[in-house]
Copies of this chain bind each other. A is one copy, B any other.
Amino acid sequence: MINIAVLGYGTVGSGVVEVIEKNKEVIDRRAGEALYVKYILDLRDFPGDAYEDRIVHDFRIILNDPEVSIICETMGGLEPALTFSMQALKAGKSVCTSNKELVASHGAELIATARQNRCNYLFEASVGGGIPVIRPLNVALTAERIELIDGILNGTTNYILTKMAQEGTDFEVCLKEAQEKGYAERNPEADVEGYDACRKIAILASLMTGKTVRYEEIYTEGITKVTKEDFLYAKKMGLFIKLLASVRYEAGAYYAMVAPFLVGEDNPLHSVNDVFNAIFIRGNTLGDSMYYGRGAGKLPTASAVVSDVIDCAKHGRKHIICLWEKEKQPLSDIGGACRRFFVRAKEGSEEEVRRLFGRMARVDAGVPGEFGFLTEPMTEREFGEKAEALEGFVGRLRVDA
């Protein structure tokens, strides 16, 4: 029997307990031994809960119990999750987590500690919820040089953008609807400003480069400035607006960013709707691949945590190689990244547009007093200068094509 402890009896933590109970037969068969939830750490008591007797309030009880070999850290936040995780790993207990914030900021350190203590720090649930994406990167796409990762990594913003596209309503209206349905939090900043997606792409970028990509250095733009007019133009051009979290390798440099993009029908991410997430990966021999599924939610996320627990159980005190060093991976300034842009400009500024951007095909989407156009590929820097010089400038979106 393998004894495990769950830190934090919130949404994901209670989901972990539920999945282990619900799929006991198949899980125990795959782990090679029966899993038993011996402790659940939480500040609260849960009178009447089926696991009431497993609740403890002091982490030291778990840490000092030699029978506990695997810990699920589903608390979230930096502290005390970091301290508990480090202590557990140093005691040779493997840790499986859904905590993207902690993984993004201390991943390399925690993995190194696991390696030194012959146990594992696994974090499949930290990106893409139930979608297996960490494991494919670590154990399946191992023969690849990854050239590009584009992800729809935040369900809340994808839900809002899907509604805006379908209903032609404004951001604020759709945000309110998402909040009412429980898809967005009362304070939606972490989602709508792109901070959540930023942490997740930092994790994927670190696995792609093998070094630490610091999330603080990733250019991040949320969806709060996307308007219903933008969707009118997108529709007119047969394009879709998605919040992409992206990292790419181009001519010796790594670029990473989070921003709303116009994507075309040939991009498989275009049809990823509602709260679904997807990760598009391009390898140098594999070509294009994509992983799609529920990026959040109690049971999908818990299922990913439990798959890590099973992996730990199968490996015992053998460390699973994960190439993510503490050394910082420098990112190039996105000013040098090259792409097309879609621009909205005031009626009457066509001549100015032609002077600055050259030939252009006008896009009319029925928005009074303005028109749109697509630029040729150019660097962010070059575009920024031209856009600033354009007096009739109304707005812009990046184009992923």
Residues of chain A touching chain B, judged by Cβ–Cβ distance below 8 Å, are 15, 18-20, 22-23, 26-27, 29-32, 124, 130-132, 135-136, 139-145, 210, 265, 268, 270-272, 283-294, 297, 299-300, 302-304, 306-307, 309-311, 314, 318, 321, 323
Contacts and interface: CB of A to CB of B under 8 A. Distances in A.
Given A136-B135, A142-B310, A268-B271, A287 B297 contact: yes
A328 B272 CA distance: 38
B140 A307 contact: yes
B297 A293 contact: no
5 contacts: A19-B143, A131-B289, A132-B289, A136-B140, A287-B293
A53 B26 CA distance: 49
Contact of A283 (B272, B297, B303): B303
Nearest to A277: B289
Nearest to A280: B292
A142 B35 CA distance: 13
A270 B265 CA distance: 12
A303 B285 contact: yes
A26 B321 CA distance: 13
A23 B284 contact: yes
Taking the full assembly, how many copies of this chain does it contain?
2
Highest count of chain B CB atoms <10 Å: which of A30, A124, A286, A304: A286
Nearest to A292: B290
A300 B285 contact: yes
Contacts of A311: 139, 142
Nearest to A270: B271
A392 to B, nearest CB: 37
B26 A145 contact: yes
Contacts of A272: 268
A393 B294 CA distance: 41
A252 to B, nearest CB: 15
A95 B107 CA distance: 34
A304 B268 CA distance: 21
A286 B290 contact: no
Contacts of A302: 143, 285
A23 B286 contact: no
Given A26-B143, A290-B293, 9 more contacts: A23-B144, A23-B284, A29-B210, A135-B135, A141-B307, A268-B271, A271-B271, A283-B303, A286-B293
Contacts of A22: 284-285
Contacts of A140: 124, 132, 135-136, 304, 307
- Of all A-B residue pairs in the complex, the 5 with the closest CB atoms, nearest first, are A289-B293, A132-B140, A143-B306, A290-B292, A285-B299
A209 to B, nearest CB: 11
B323 A29 contact: yes
